[in-house]
Structure 1
Amino acid sequence: MKRQRGYKALLGLTPEQVIALDEQGHAARAMWNLLHDWWTMTGKCLLRRASLALADQHIRQARKDLPWLAALPAQAAQQVLKQYHRAWVNCWEGRAGAPNFKSRIRSRMSVDVPQGRDLQIKRVSRRWGRCRIPKVGLVRFRWTKDLPGVTRSGPAGRVTGARLVKEAHGWHIVFRTETLVDDVHPKSTGRIVGIDRGVVVPLALSDGSNREHGPWLTDGERKRLIRLERKAARQRRIRKPGEQSGNRLARTYDQIARYRATAKRRAADWQHRTTTELADTFTVIAVEDLAVTNMVKSARGTTGHPGKNVRQKAGLNRVIAAEAWGRTVELLAYKLADRGGHLVKVPAAGTSRRCSACGFTCPGNRQTQARFACRAPGCGYTANADTNAARNIEHAAGRAVSGLLSPLHDGNEASTTSCAHSA
């Protein structure tokens, strides 16, 4: 069975190579914008019938007429065309919105190397590897994991291509790999667990344990970040309306971006380590089917109907976004599939207010953020609120997979008794 994965590594570039890659990144963005203008000028009625061969012909002519556009390799320019056409196909089929103009400030520079054989990957030391990038030459990258088909000790497979991406810490290369693995058969036995995602406790498990983390930045880094944000605010106030931003403000923004990128990388590292440990331990993992995008919407409202507690809601939105709940679910899904397990999503309604022991549901059951106490007569069950919610998620998952793993589920089947029924 073929398994496709991505492997990301930091590039060690010389100043000349950085300039060359920056030119390619700007040319790729300009190529996208030129295609967008050309396709949209034809009108929506002709957009579906636009010929890729004609577009490729215009790209070839543009690379001859514009020297700065020729900095982009020919295969990378063709890949921009393929990606733009795929964006419109996704829009027509309802999977995404229409492609837009790529801003120089808000878009991330990227260049594709579609053919893996052009990379000529080789390991040169314990920490460094080497590959060839078109119109840049041989570049070094950090070697932290064996690539398929490169070293004898590496897995069987091959590198099918790569993408160069510029981030706050510099240029990175993302290798597209194809690995040959044995067919993964579903596990017939194993453990099932429910996970409640939160902001106070990042991951609360139904077995009573938690997966927590500390702040992503140290105290010194947080203080430095706050000073930089205040410095950027002062520099923005000095700038006159309509005046272009200066180099000093741009340098301040770059420093802020590096600190935020550091926090993001540390969060992703913790998520990878935690989800790997969970996927190795449990066969079935259940999570709530949350609409995270709707949960982090602003409470500002409109001019006629302004929102309430806007600043408090904005702070909560930032905390939820920092936890990256959606990324946790994506990591669990593919890691469980690789190990023969699977992920179950259950409805989120009532999980925090339902008693996992008797099934009594009432808003008053959750007394505080951390304490749950059942108010049903004769029950008296008390537990941590997050742990109780995780157990309800596990119970719902046990019913959802009852045909497959019902003998393994030793929890109590929660009923749906509510306050109105008990009255």
Structure 2
Amino acid sequence: MARLDLSTAQVAVLDDQAHTARALWNLLHEYCTFRQGRFPTVKECDTAIRQARREIDWMGRLPAQAAQAVLRTYRQAWANFFNPAHPAGRPTFKSRSRTRPAVDVPQARDLNITRVNRRWGAVSLPKVGRVRFRWTMDLPGVTRGGPAGRITGARLVKEADGWQIVFRTERQVPAPAAHPGGRVGVDRGVTVALALSDGTMREHGPWLRDGEKERLRRLEKTSARQRRARSPGRPASRRLARTYDRIARLRATAKRRAVDWQHQTTTELARAFGVVVVEDLTITNMVRSATGTIEHPGRNVRQKAGLNRAITGQAWGRTITLLEYKTRDRGGLVVKVPAPGTSQTCHRCGHRDPASRDGTRFSCVNPACGWAGHADTNAAINIRNAAGTAVSGRGDLGAARSAKRQPPHAA
């Protein structure tokens, strides 16, 4: 994903295209779900789109190729919904306020990508013109001596800090050889981001600096005051919209820094280890609210809300998603094991007692053992030793079988 350097007029053009694409999706959804009889075919939908472009003036703001991309995406959404193995839900209407603006450029022949200098490249966009973008990585078929392959299209996405471009590429990647690295257990936490079974840890500082935190706090107070001044049922004022934009830009900054740290850390782990063992966590259940009901109110609601924010800020699921494809590309494997008991069990003697853990300190209460050390390191060792009871594995099948055959062992 690379940032586009757009003028004010070009931003307005892309905004119009994105709103038109969203409206076209809604029109397609209405055409397909509210008509009588069978579900329309692709040809019938295409004919309806062409007729709409002739009869509705503002439909012409969206390039014809981008309109066809909306149709393909909509049909694929229904195919995913009817696929029992796919987790996608039923396609619905897209709201203006809750939909991320996006425009597809499905064909790469008119992009005319060139490199301007070390930091910038240039690309041609339909109805927008020649635009510079931030050069962040080598592109196949464009960079001399770069990766072999070709660019098949692009997608324009509007984030909180402006429009970004994502290039779709096609490359032939040979099957990776088996990873020669060893096995490691990884425990995800809040106090320590990632604790490894080899005794090392991967930590990070706050995603926002002190000044940025203070600015975010002031903006949130300002937005609360502006919301109180708004009459019920009235749309947000321009001042409130500007405040929301500033808050979104700060949160986007924090997310970029978090994703950057996750990419660097997961790349390091994927290069160093052949088998990475993690807990099979149901994160959505872990971050549920403790408010309860009127009849049965919850306890420690504010503390649980703070813990939920901390877990969400760590983005544990994204860390494992990045780690899975990076280890797979390098011939490694990510194994998920059952989570219960890993933080309360001594890895040396196997004695399990909640009293053994006190915050980040683990002291085995078994008189015959008495091991003491960091609680997250102990949990990571238990996770690594539980690889023989894996519930799932992503990566090389041969590595998965060998990992499951290996018996648990103590550090």
**Structure 1 and Structure 2 fold alike (TM over 0.5):** yes
Cα distance between partner residues in 2 of 1:302 and 1:407: 47
Q: 2:204 aligns with which of 213, 216, 220?
A: 213
Shift in Å, 1:76: 0.8
Partner of 1:238: 229
Distance 1:255 1:15 in 2: 18
Partner of 1:13: 6
Indicate the percent of aligned positions where both proteins have the same amino acid: 60
Give me the whole-angstrom Cα distance separating, in 2, the residues matched to 1:298 and 1:84.
34
Alignment of 1:75-154 (within 5 A): 75-94=65-84, 95-154=87-146
Which residue number in structure 2 is paired with residue 41 of structure 1?
34
Match of 2:318 among 327, 336, 345: 327
Work out the number of aligned pairs and report it: 401
* CA distance, structure 1, for counterparts of residue 297 and residue 105 of structure 2: 49
State which of 275, 297, 306 in structure 1 corresponds to 2:297.
Answer: 306
Tell whether 2:280 aligns with 1:282. no
Distance 1:58 1:172 in 2: 30
1:157 matched to 2:131? The reply is: no
Q: Which amino acid aligns with 1:384?
A: H
State the Cα distance separating 1:257 from its structure 2 match: 0.3
1:384 aligns with 2:377: no
Deviation for aligned residue 1:404: 2.0
Determine the structure 2 residue equivalent to 1:195.
186
SS in 1 for 2:344: coil
Q: How many Å apart are 1:384 and its aligned residue?
A: 0.8
Paired AA for residue 65 in structure 1: E
Q: Measured at CA, do residues 176 and 351 of structure 1 come closer, stay the same or move farther in structure 2, by a change above 3 Å?
A: same
- Of the three residues 61, 64, 69, the one matched with 2:54 is 64
- Paired residue type of 1:352: S
Q: CA deviation at 1:343?
A: 0.6
In the superposition, relative to structure 1, how do residues 42 and 330 fare at CA in structure 2: closer, same or farther (>3 Å)? same
Between stretches 293-302 and 355-364, larger displacement belongs to 293-302
Which residue identity is paired with 1:40? T
CA contact (8 A) 1:119 1:131 kept: yes
SS of equivalent to 1:117: coil
- Higher mean Cα deviation, 84-93 or 163-172? 84-93
- AA aligned opposite 1:146: D
Cα offsets for 1:42-71 (capped at 9, x unmatched): 26x73xx32111111111111111121111
Query: What CA distance in whole angstroms lies between the structure 1 residues aligned with 2:378 and 2:45?
Result: 58
**Could you tell me whether the CA contact under 8 Å between 2:338 and 2:389 is conserved in 1?**
no
Query: Which residue, 261, 283, 299 being the options, matches 1:270?
Result: 261
Give the unaligned 5+ runs of structure 2. 391-398
Counterpart CA distance in 1 for 2:191 and 2:374 is 12
Local SS of the residue matching 2:92: coil
8 Å contact 1:192–1:408 — kept in the other structure?
A: no
Query: CA offsets, 1:94-134, max 9 Å, x none?
Result: 42211122111111000011112221211111111111111
Residue number among 343, 349, 364 corresponding to 1:374 in the alignment: 364
Which 10-residue stretch deviates more, 86-95 or 262-271?
Answer: 86-95
Deviation at 1:181, TM superposition (A): 2.9
Q: Which amino acid aligns with 2:79?
A: V
2:52–2:59: 8 Å Cα contact kept in structure 1?
yes
User: Cα–Cα, structure 1 residues 357 and 77, in superposed 2: closer, same or farther, change >3 Å?
Assistant: same
Other-structure match for 1:418 = none
Match of 2:247 in 1: 256
Letter paired with 2:104: D
**1:284, distance to aligned residue in structure 2 (A):** 0.8
Asked whether the equivalents of residues 301 and 307 of structure 1 are also in contact (C-alpha less than 8 Å), the reply is yes
In structure 1, distance between residues paired with 2:15 and 2:294: 43
Query: Counterpart of 2:171 in 1: which secondary structure?
Result: strand
Gaps of 5+ in 1: 1-7, 414-423
**Aligned CA-pair RMSD:** 1.8
Per-residue deviation at 1:410? 9.0
The answer to whether residue 328 in structure 2 is matched with residue 337 in structure 1 is yes
Checking the alignment, whether the CA contact within 8 Å between 1:192 and 1:409 is kept in structure 2 is: no
Q: Aligned with 2:4: secondary structure? A: strand
Q: Distance in 2 between matches of 1:131 and 1:50?
A: 36
Inter-partner Cα distance in structure 2 for 1:299 and 1:235: 29
1:179 positional shift: 2.1
Of the structure 1 ranges 96-105 and 17-26, higher mean CA displacement relative to structure 2 is found in 96-105
Residue in 1 aligned with 2:396?
none
Please state how far the C-alpha of 1:16 moved relative to its aligned partner.
1.4
Pairing 1:30–2:23 present: yes
Partner of 2:410: 412
Report the AA paired with residue 31 of structure 1: L
Counterpart code for 1:83: T
Once residues 351 and 31 of structure 1 are traced to their aligned partners in structure 2, the CA distance between those partners, rounded to angstroms, is 50
Question: Bigger CA drift: 16-25 or 299-308?
Answer: 299-308
CA shift, 1:403, in A, is 5.3
